[in-house]
Every structure is written in C-alpha cells, then in structure tokens.
Amino acid sequence: MRLLILGGTTEATALGRAVAGDARIDGAISLAGRTRHPLPQPLPVRVGGFGGVEGLATYLREHRIDALIDATHPFAARMTAHAVAAARATNTPLLVVLRPPWRPGERDRWTMVPDMQAAAAALGPAPRRVFLTVGQKDLSPFGAAPQHHYVLRSVDPPPPEALPPDVVVIAARGPFAEADESSLLSERRIDVIVTKNSGGTATEAKLAAARALGLPVVMVERPPPPPARTVATVAEALHWLERRHAAAPRGE
Ligand code: NAP
C-alpha cells in the first residue's frame, strides 16, 4: 500500500514511526517546509506545497497513492481542505487525524475568540504583558495593538517585519514542562496568554501554569472540522490502515 501522510505534527511523526517497519506499507511524509530545522522523520520526506488541489491530485495520481492520511495541525485548514478535494477528485481513500481540542476546567479563565483579530481586540485598550504562542502566521492584528508588551514564542523567529513593535522573541520547540512555563510566566511578569486551541500534550503545560497562577487565557478557537472521515488518535489511524489491508484484494 502506497501511503502519503501530510505531516508537520507529533501525530504524523508517530504514525510514520508506527508504519515504518511494516513491509506492507510504502509510506512517505509530506512537510510544508515552514521550519528551518524540521525534526528527523521515520519515513522518506518530501518538502513544500503541492500547488493547490490540482497539484496534490496530480501527486496522488503520479505516485499511485492508495491511502492519504492528513495528520496536519488542526489550524492547517487550507491543507486539509485541499486534501479533501484532491482525494475526492482522484478517488483516493482519505483519513484525517485531528487531535481533540483543549477544554477549560473550573479554575480556567479562558476567553474564547474566533480568530487572531478577535484575540488582539480581546486584550483591550490598556497596555498588558502578553505571552503570545500563536505561531508565525497572522501576527498582524497584534502589530495593530502596539500598546501591549509581547513575549512571543515560536519554533523559528518570525521575520522582523511581521513583529509587533514592543516584543521579545523566544525561539523554542515543545514539549514544555509546567515548572518551566510557570517560571517563564512569572519572570516575564505576564498577565495574559494568547494561544490557539491546538490540543495535544506538547504545548499544554502553559495552560496548567496559567491555571495555577490564576492568569487569563485568550483562546483562539479552531476552524470547523473537515467533511471527511476523522479520527482523534494515531491508534485509530493504524486501525483504519489495517481495515484497508483486510479489504484489499489478494495479491495487492
Ligand atoms: P495551511 O495554511 O493549511 O496550508 C497552506 C499551504 O501550505 C497549503 O495550501 C500547502 O500548499 C502547504 N502545506 C501545508 N501543509 C503541508 C504539508 N504537510 N505538505 C505539503 N504542503 C503543505 O498550513 P499551515 O497552517 O501553514 O501549516 C503548515 C505546516 O505546519 C503543516 O504541515 C502543519 O501540520 C504544520 N503546523 C502548523 C501549525 C499551525 O498552527 N498552523 C502548527 C504546527 C505545525 P499548496 O497549496 O501549494 O499544496
């Protein structure tokens, strides 16, 4: 079975690791090429955009892909929409792996907002010290709220022109531990966190630290789920692959 995994997440790497030793599967992982030093992958890697729906459909045909698993980030909505359309156009079986979102507990002080613009507006007019962990895209709304001091953390530093004026950049890749997050929030005298609802464990510790410190969180909600067969875990994705093997005609 020729398998293409759309990656860039912990789940995609774990899935690749799980199928790497399976002689029945000829797998590859696709990365967008956003990070300068991507983590080593357990399967052959291709890097860069496909060129829209048409480009991905051509790739699926030319490489005679038997199964497509979209394990991209919950906020990589464009890639996922392209995967749905290209899979439909080429009749390629598609599964989306979408980790569950974080949910607030009783002691959490979250403000849910639909997008980055609303997140910047939710910070209000008075200057605040903001821990910004929203990645490199969509920083412009914070540039339009220059009264705040931002501590911005992302895997690679964003280009200077994308940054708000009063900012300290921390380049770091998760997973992060709660004790370290707690120290960072205290030392930087942060009074509000802005994050996307990515879900997963790698970047969850900041939420536990915020809870313990009584800090508010502005939580950007996810784009709508895709119209495709979707599972929440790598184990379920492996189960789906097993079922496809069982259903394949003998000799394949
Ligand atoms: P996006 O906005 O949904 O995608 C924009 C374009 O980037 C796509 O149309 C596609 O270009 C290309 N692309 C995205 N993922 C790709 C992949 N795995 N392989 C090949 N091309 C890909 O995606 P994004 O939010 O920029 O995310 C880019 C990558 O970073 C994804 O792999 C995602 O899993 C990872 N990531 C994203 C976030 C996040 O918060 N968004 C966080 C962690 C990791 P073409 O149209 O030319 O095919």
- pLDDT tens string 169-198: 999 999 999 999 999 999 999 999 999 999
Output DSSP code: residue 91. T
Strand order in the sheet with 230-231: 45-47, 26-31, 2-6, 67-70, 94-97, 230-231
- Which pLDDT score is estimated for 3? 98
Pocket of ligand 1 contains residue 74 by CB under 6 Å: no
Q: Mean pLDDT in the chain?
A: 96
Q: Confidence band (pLDDT; 50, 70, 90) for 252? A: very low
> Average pLDDT for residues 235-247, to the nearest whole number?
94
Q: What would the pLDDT profile of 3-44 be if each residue is shown by its tens digit?
A: 999 999 999 999 999 999 999 999 999 999 999 899 999 999
Q: What's the token pair of residue 215?
A: 């800090």
pTM to 2 decimals? 0.95
- How far, in Å, are 99, 109, 114, 159, 216 from residue 106 at the CA level? 22, 8, 21, 38, 13
| Nearest Cα to Cα of residue 181 among 218, 210, 159 | 210
C-alpha Rg value of the chain to the nearest Å:
20
Residue 61 in tokens: 């045909």
Minimal-distance CA residue to ligand 1 atom 1 = 76
The reply to whether ligand 1 has any atom less than 6 angstroms from the CB of 199 is no
Question: Whose Cα sits closest to atom 8 in ligand 1?
Answer: 79
Instruction: Name the residue of 37, 56, 73 to mutate for ligand 1: max ligand atoms within 8 A of Cβ.
Output: 73
**Is residue 92 lining ligand 1, measured as CB closer than 6 Å?**
no
pLDDT at 117 over 50: yes
> Is the CB of 52 within 6 Å of ligand 1?
yes
**Residues making up the chain, counted from first to last:** 252
Instruction: Summarize pLDDT for 53-102 with one digit per residue, the tens.
Output: 999 999 999 999 999 999 999 999 999 999 999 999 999 999 999 999 99
**Is 248 a residue whose pLDDT tops 90?**
no
Return the half-sphere exposure (C-beta side, CA atoms, 13 A cut-off) of residue 33: 6
Give the ligand 1 atom nearest the CA of 75: 41
Ramachandran angles phi, psi of 112, nearest 5°: -85, 135
Structure tokens at 179: 């004790």
**Cα 33 to ligand 1 centre (Å):** 8
Tell me the β-bridge partners of 193: 131, 217
Q: Which pLDDT band holds residue 211 (cuts at 50, 70, 90)? A: very high
